Structure 1
Amino acid sequence: MTAIPTLATERLLLRPMRAEDWAPFSTLMQSERARFMGGPHSVSAAWGMFCADHAQWDFFGAGSLMLEDRQTGACLGQVGINSGPLFPEQEMGWLLFDGAEGQGYAFEAASAFRDWARDVRQLATLVSYVDPQNDRSCRLAERLGAVLDKTARGQDPTDLVYRHFG
């Protein structure tokens, strides 16, 4: 079993998931904002994703961390490294809860988690699967230094696959 880390950035704590994180996660996954993540999802499907995000730590040595504002304690979103039968490769994804977009939180969190994956887990590569219509996530992947890999298989056949340090 892998110990779930807590990572600190200038403004954020990337910390293990808690039961109280379910409410904002569920709200996002059931909303139209989840359209780039295959949603909106039912409560049951959202619960399955939430539980899988946590369980992957035991199964694969990486999973999801929540983004917590270091000053206010507010939970702002999630960054994760996804593995398992639904993912062709280890995939780094991110999501922000309503009101947290456009402030650089996803870049800050994804940079820290990507570096942890490379330096601590010694992963040779990560990918990010991005819906081609999700311009903001495409720009974020590029800002993180990922490059479009047209030969990689996506989670969904229409996904763009961005490769990090590979």
Structure 2
Amino acid sequence: MQPIPTLTTSRLTLRPMRFDDWPAYRQLMASERAQFMGGPFSDAAAWGMFCSDYAQWDLLGCGALMIEDQASGACIGQVGINAGPLFPEFELGWFVYPEFEGRGYAREAAETLLSWARDIQKLPSLVSYVDPENTRSAGLALRLGAVLDPSAERPAPEDLVYRHYPRVSA
């Protein structure tokens, strides 16, 4: 098993999850903002998701990383590559806590983890499952270069699937 990576950008550190990340995660998952992820969730369901986000690293070589602002040290959200029995393919997902939206953090974190998945893990393709009403995430998937793939298998029939194809070498 390889260690959980820590990745950095000029503004962000993508780091392994810690127990002290749980309160903000729980609050988001219990809120109406979790509607695009199948929520709001009970504490028990959110705890299961939190633990799964972490456990996937040992079990599958991928999982979630928390997004931390280097300047303030604040945990501002999460980015992850999900796999396993609930996901037909490796899935790139993200969320940013409400008070940190609109600053490009989700894109910066997702681009960084996508590069890691391609360059280090050598994943040939990833998808992002997006609720059709979540226009902000759909827009981000497109800005990341993903293409809508209507024929892809999906965990929920209403999900849109955005495919992140491998980079084409010139």
How high is the TM-score relative to the length of structure 1?
0.99
Q: How does 1:1-166 map to 2 (within 5 A)?
A: 1-166=1-166
Instruction: Give the secondary-structure state (helix, strand or coil) at the position aligned to 1:4.
Output: coil
* Partner amino acid, structure 2, of 1:118: R
Query: Per-residue displacement from partner, 1:30-78 (whole Å, max 9, x unpaired)?
Result: 0000000000000000000000000000011010000000010000000
* Partner amino acid, structure 1, of 2:78: Q
The 4+ residue runs of structure 1 with deviation greater than 3 A are: none
* Partner amino acid, structure 1, of 2:18: R
The alignment's C-alpha RMSD in Å is 0.6
Q: CA deviation at 1:97?
A: 1.0
Whole-angstrom CA distance in 1 between matches of 2:43 and 2:51:
12
Whole-angstrom CA distance in 1 between matches of 2:4 and 2:15:
8
Q: CA deviation at 1:2?
A: 2.4
Whole-angstrom CA distance in 1 between matches of 2:48 and 2:153:
24
- Name the % identity: 62
Instruction: Give the secondary-structure state (helix, strand or coil) at the position aligned to 2:5.
Output: coil
Whole-angstrom CA distance in 2 between matches of 1:32 and 1:148:
26
Which blocks of at least 5 consecutive residues in structure 2 are unaligned?
Answer: none
* Partner amino acid, structure 2, of 1:21: D
Instruction: Give the secondary-structure state (helix, strand or coil) at the position aligned to 2:128.
Output: strand
Q: CA deviation at 1:165?
A: 1.6
What is the count of residue pairs matched by the alignment?
166
Which blocks of at least 5 consecutive residues in structure 1 are unaligned?
Answer: none
